């Protein structure tokens, strides 16, 4: 007998959209991300009732309200913890964590560290706009040195954290980067992250038009993108430039990358190689910014192992037996 | 020892109840000795109450006063409700134990010491300039000096132990002697030793030999004239099957029982290591077969978050901590209140503020539980009175949390967590049932649609088709659940949240009087683990002819709906609590009654006599 289950395989991207009016600033990169996520959902045929979007606080955290799936808008920085509880209680749910640079790397930095280290099966999408948007423009943990903001009128003197570098350091087993405006690449990256069992971390460079406009232009600008980005793909040489005329390779005798002409021996991207991923994540001008899946090396996910282990636990599951375990005595009248 | 007479024929003296304290170095096995004595006491049919007092340091240097570990048991035939004010028999295995614990010994009480341990080195570490066994500093007590070290070594000699191993059997010798003194059996202890040292039969045999030697020492002519045997009558207990239960076990099993009573498949218990709450995490970590998933989170915040995430899926989310950790969970409690999800929070209170005295008990988180959040954030608060009450309170917390879709804080404390009592084991079939129902019907659904009776919103499991919805911390519209910043709507929602919690008062028992009349000259009002000493004190005061009643408040938010009216029927209200006056202020604020505080903040539980004196004092003042 065949069991017919209703799937949402035929749903279109718009079917993943809720009836709520989207309230991001006009021109905000978040719109493009919402579009890409809905497209990825449709292409993956995600079942709406089994999908949960969890967020913390910030502009990015409004995300769940705009999806027609289940959604939980929680408190600042804590979405990874809440999502962990959701997966522990019901591993069948497909859970996405939508976060930002302040939410995920500042107030929630500790939770981000541990959710990645534990490898809870979640898609963690970090919108990096290098600024606090919702609270009106303060510098964030990913803001570059010198960023002038209401709280740093003389320019920030802090060294920024690299989102992907942090994720790799925390032990994440899937780390990728994309850009809000690179729709096709973003959708493909989100789909890869969904295919990964365990915690997958995707950093999206997102433009905040109001408080940090054009902060990624040196990477994402049409004119410069070919030279300022390298799209990495597993098993393919690390090439970039308008005509793929430049390559990355290891500097002989050093653990560092160098730019060489393509005809010399380019490094082949191996997404299972964590040290290589670290090198790629850390690339800064004059090197191109690495985009795509920097690292992917799956292992059993946390909740999977929790339930695998449960089989070995003691006890019959009978409450009366539990209460009567160990020494008891009878009192007769 | 309350009375003294000689049991016919046995040559043993009769005692109504006895308080014994085993004290020694952390390495002397005093907790094990106490637990085994408790077991034999239980099997002998006495009622009992126990309390361990172990050092805060993990491995305190041997022989020092801060390395002293003690275990106190109060047992007898009549209601034994506390571990006892003053000690009748102190077993002091070294000078440090003597100097720390002798102050709690009654004048005329017995102290049993191991003379070998009173060497110059140990005396120095305990701060004795002179050996107290050789001057008259212990003249107020009966001092029984035995060379327990040597007697043990002699007893275990045939088993060929090293002298260090032989030394570790001293506690069993002392236990054997005490079991003889009170006419208890040794069989259960022998069985336990065989099980514990199943892989080391020599050690088992040596310990049993030491136990038997201690017992025989009492039995035979070797015994000095002060060493007398006693008989303690059996308690009159309700027929049934009994066991020993600690507060931690009571809570853990109560949560499991609540889970089943609610018909919920799974409990996610998330905690973070903190004294004295960790024991609950440890206990529940072994209950996987009972639907419990435990999670040791990266911090207190994440623990509460994971528990709330679990509740969001339709499982029972539970988190636990102690005062400073509960403070960190405050933000998540706000989210649980705003999103109206069930959450059980267990607070094992300890002495504060800040880190305070982690191993010492206090009842000073009442304000934090009832009011310690930003904004108008009501929730339900219950407190456990005794270790067996921990079981019932945990079940009740699950009932209220799931029925009213609210966080419920259960207040326990460091004393209850470790104390133990006999417990009449309930049968699951006799426990209450309160099955939850999850919303599955899409017709007319919105996430904040309220049950007209309880005002609770529907609980929906993600995974349910056509009920997809979004919830969060932002204020939401009363009629649709959508985000709303409308001023009148916020007022309406604030009131709805308050009314929902206030309405719980209709669903809990009326406040009763634990002892005495429902009106009169004085009501002594307590909550939490001070139940035992307050009850005993009121009993004593009533025996003195005083018009006093004991009112024990289990539901602290909301209060039972007749509480104010009940208190107004007394001329005076005295509120003993282990804090600087918290319930007293809540009662005054709520009911405008002239309640008077009686606080104790030493980190130690109340003594019965302290409360008796407070009752006398307040009744004499006119
Ligand atoms: S503040 Fe910036 S990030 Fe936030 S919605 Fe506006 S543009 Fe987007």
Terminal-residue alpha carbon distance, chain A: 61
Chain A contact set for B268 (CB, 8 A)? 85, 88-89
Arithmetic mean of pLDDT, A152-179 = 98
Coil, strand or helix at A291 = strand
Answer yes or no: is pLDDT of A41 > 90. Answer: yes
- Between positions 2 and 31 of A, the ones with CB within 8 A of B are 6, 18, 20
**How far, in Å, CA of B346 to CA of B334, rounded?**
16
Q: What was the pLDDT predicted at B61?
A: 87
Q: Scanning the structure block, which residue is given the tokens 């939508």?
A: A98
Of the candidates B259, B247, B294, the one whose C-alpha atom is nearest the C-alpha of residue B531 is: B247
Q: What was the pLDDT predicted at B622?
A: 64
Answer yes or no: is pLDDT of A8 > 60. Answer: no
Cis before B55? omega within 30: no
Q: What was the pLDDT predicted at B542?
A: 97
Any idea of the CA torsion for A206, A212, A215, A221, to the nearest 10 degrees?
A: 70
Contact of B98 with B122, CB cutoff 8 Å: no
pLDDT (tens digit, 9 = 90+) per residue, A61-112? 999 999 999 999 999 999 999 999 999 999 999 999 999 999 999 999 999 9
Q: Give chain B's residues under pLDDT 50.
A: 1-5
Answer yes or no: is pLDDT of A3 > 50. Answer: no
Q: b vs e for B280-311, b when ≥16 Cβ sit within 10 Å of the residue's Cβ?
A: bbebbbebbbbbbbbbebbbbbbbbbbbbbbb
State the nearest Cα–Cα gap between A111 and chain B, in angstroms: 7
Helical ranges in B511-593 per DSSP H? 531-543, 563-567, 583-591
CATH superfamily placement of domain A8-234+269-307: Thiamin diphosphate (ThDP)-binding fold, Pyr/PP domains (3.40.50.970)
Q: What was the pLDDT predicted at A9?
A: 56
Q: Is any ligand 1 atom within 6 A of the Cβ of residue A61? A: no
Contacts of B195 (CB under 8 A, 6+ apart): none
State the nearest Cα–Cα gap between A333 and chain B, in angstroms: 5
Chain A contact set for B377 (CB, 8 A)? none
**How far, in Å, CA of B440 to CA of B459, rounded?**
9
Q: Is any ligand 1 atom within 6 A of the Cβ of residue A28? A: yes
The partner residue sitting opposite B465, judged by closest CB among A49, A65, A317, is A49
- Between positions 67 and 126 of A, the ones with CB within 8 A of B are 67-75, 78, 80-90, 92-93, 110-111, 113-114
Contact of A97 with A83, CB cutoff 8 Å: yes
- Probe residue for ligand 1, chosen from A59, A66, A130, A214 as the CB with the greatest number of ligand atoms within 8 Å: A59
Q: What was the pLDDT predicted at B374?
A: 97
Q: For the whole model, what pTM was predicted? A: 0.95
Q: What was the pLDDT predicted at B236?
A: 84
State the nearest Cα–Cα gap between A18 and chain B, in angstroms: 9
Answer yes or no: is pLDDT of A2 > 60. Answer: no
What is the pLDDT confidence band of residue A327, given thresholds at 50, 70 and 90? confident
**How far, in Å, CA of B531 to CA of B533, rounded?**
6
Contact of A302 with B268, CB cutoff 8 Å: no
Report strand pairing: A257-261 vs A246-250.
antiparallel
pLDDT (tens digit, 9 = 90+) per residue, A209-244? 999 999 999 999 999 999 999 999 999 999 999 999
Name the residue ranges covered by the structural domains of chain A.
8-234+269-307, 238-268
Answer yes or no: is pLDDT of A1 > 70. Answer: no
What is the pLDDT confidence band of residue A332, given thresholds at 50, 70 and 90? confident
What's the ipTM?
0.96
Q: What was the pLDDT predicted at B58?
A: 73
Cis before B281? omega within 30: no
Tokens found for residue B309: 């995430």
DSSP 8-state symbol, A189: H
Q: What was the pLDDT predicted at B223?
A: 61
């Amino acid at each position: 007998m065949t069991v017919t289950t209703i799937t949402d395989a035929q749903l279109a991207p718009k079917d993943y959209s809720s009836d709520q009016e989207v309230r991001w600033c006009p021109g905000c990169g978040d719109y493009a991300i919402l579009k890409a996520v809905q497209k990825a959902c449709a292409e993956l045929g995600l079942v709406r009732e089994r999908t949960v979007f969890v967020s913390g606080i910030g502009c990015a955290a409004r995300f769940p309200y705009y999806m027609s799936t289940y959604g939980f808008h929680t408190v600042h920085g804590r979405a990874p913890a809440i999502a962990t509880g959701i997966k522990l209680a019901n591993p069948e749910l497909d859970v996405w964590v939508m976060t930002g640079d302040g939410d995920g790397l500042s107030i929630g930095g500790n939770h981000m560290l541990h959710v990645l280290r534990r490898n809870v099966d979640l898609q963690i999408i970090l919108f990096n706009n290098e600024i606090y948007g919702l609270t009106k423009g303060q510098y964030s943990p990913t803001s570059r040195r010198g960023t002038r903001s209401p709280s740093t009128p003389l320019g920030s003197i802090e060294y920024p954290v690299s989102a992907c570098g942090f994720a790799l350091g925390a032990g994440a087993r899937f780390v990728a980067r994309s850009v809000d405006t690179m729709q096709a690449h973003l959708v493909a990256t989100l789909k890869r992250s969904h295919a990964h069992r365990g915690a997958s971390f995707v950093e999206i460079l997102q433009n905040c038009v109001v408080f940090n406009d054009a902060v990624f232009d040196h990477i994402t600008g049409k004119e410069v993108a070919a030279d300022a980005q390298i799209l990495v793909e597993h098993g393919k040489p690390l090439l970039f430039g308008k005509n793929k005329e430049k390559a990355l390779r290891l500097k002989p005798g050093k653990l560092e990358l160098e730019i060489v002409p393509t005809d010399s021996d380019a490094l082949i991207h191996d997404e299972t190689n964590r040290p290589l991923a670290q090198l790629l994540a850390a690339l800064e001008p004059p090197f191109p910014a690495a985009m795509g899946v920097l690292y992917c090396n799956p292992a059993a996910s946390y909740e999977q192992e929790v339930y695998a282990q449960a089989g070995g636990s003691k006890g019959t599951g009978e409450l009366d037996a539990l209460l009567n375990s160990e020494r008891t005595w009878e009192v007769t009248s | 020892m309350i009375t003294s007479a000689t049991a016919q024929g046995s040559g043993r003296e009769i005692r109504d109840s006895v308080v014994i304290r085993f004290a020694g170095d952390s390495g002397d096995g005093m907790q094990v000795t106490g637990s085994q004595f408790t077991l034999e006491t239980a099997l002998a049919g006495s009622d009992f109450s126990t309390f361990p007092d172990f050092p805060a340091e993990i491995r305190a240097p041997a022989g020092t006063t801060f390395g002293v570990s003690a275990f106190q048991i109060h047992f007898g035939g009549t209601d034994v409700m506390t571990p006892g004010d003053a000690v009748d028999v102190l077993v002091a295995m070294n000078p440090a134990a003597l100097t720390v614990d002798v102050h709690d010994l009654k004048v005329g009480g017995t102290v049993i010491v191991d003379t070998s341990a009173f060497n110059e080195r140990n005396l120095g570490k305990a701060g004795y300039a002179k050996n107290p066994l050789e001057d008259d500093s212990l003249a107020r007590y009966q001092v029984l000096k035995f060379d327990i070290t040597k007697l043990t070594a002699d007893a275990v000699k045939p088993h060929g132990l090293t002298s260090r191993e032989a030394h570790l059997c001293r506690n069993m010798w002392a236990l054997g002697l005490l079991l003889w003194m009170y006419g208890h059996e040794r069989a259960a202890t022998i069985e336990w030793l065989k099980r514990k040292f199943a892989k080391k039969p020599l050690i088992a045999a040596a310990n049993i030999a030491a136990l038997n030697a201690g017992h025989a020492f009492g039995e035979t002519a070797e015994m000095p004239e002060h060493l007398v045997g006693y008989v303690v009558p059996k308690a009159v207990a309700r027929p049934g099957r009994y066991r020993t239960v600690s507060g931690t076990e009571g809570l853990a099993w109560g949560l499991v029982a609540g889970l089943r009573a609610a018909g919920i498949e799974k409990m996610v218990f998330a905690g973070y290591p903190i004294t004295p709450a960790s024991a609950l995490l440890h206990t529940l970590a072994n209950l996987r077969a009972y639907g419990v998933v435990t999670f040791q989170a990266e911090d207190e915040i994440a623990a509460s978050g994971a528990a709330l995430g679990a509740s969001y899926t339709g499982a029972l989310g539970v988190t636990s901590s102690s005062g400073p950790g509960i403070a960190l969970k405050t933000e998540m409690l706000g989210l649980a209140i705003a999103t109206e999800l069930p959450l059980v929070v267990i607070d094992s209170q300890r002495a504060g503020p800040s880190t305070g005295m982690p191993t010492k008990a206090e009842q000073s988180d009442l304000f934090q539980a009832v009011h310690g959040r930003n904004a108008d954030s009501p929730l339900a608060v219950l407190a456990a009175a005794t270790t067996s009450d921990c079981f019932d309170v945990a079940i009740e917390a699950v009932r209220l949390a799931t029925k009213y879709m609210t966080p419920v804080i259960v207040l326990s404390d460091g004393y209850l967590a470790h104390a133990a009592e006999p417990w009449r084991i309930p049968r699951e079939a006799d426990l209450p049932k309160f099955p939850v129902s999850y919303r599955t019907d899409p017709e007319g659904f919105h996430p904040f649609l309220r049950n007209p009776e309880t005002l609770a919103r529907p609980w929906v499991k993600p995974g349910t088709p056509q009920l997809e919805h979004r919830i969060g911390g932002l204020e939401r519209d009363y009629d649709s659940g959508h985000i709303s910043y409308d001023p009148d709507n916020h007022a309406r929602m604030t009131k709805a949240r308050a009314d929902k919690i206030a309405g719980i008062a209709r669903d809990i028992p009326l406040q009763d009087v634990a002892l005495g009349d429902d009106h009169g000259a004085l009501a002594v009002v307590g909550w939490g683990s001070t139940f035992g000493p307050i009850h005993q004190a009121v009993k004593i005061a009533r025996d003195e002819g005083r018009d006093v009643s004991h009112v024990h408040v289990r539901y602290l938010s909301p209060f039972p709906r007749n509480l104010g009216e009940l208190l107004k029927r007394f001329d005076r209200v005295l509120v003993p609590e282990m804090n600087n006056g918290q319930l007293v202020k809540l009662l005054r604020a709520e009911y405008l009654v002239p309640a008077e505080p009686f606080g104790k903040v030493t980190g130690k539980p109340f003594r019965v006599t302290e409360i008796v004196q407070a009752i006398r004092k307040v009744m004499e003042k006119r």
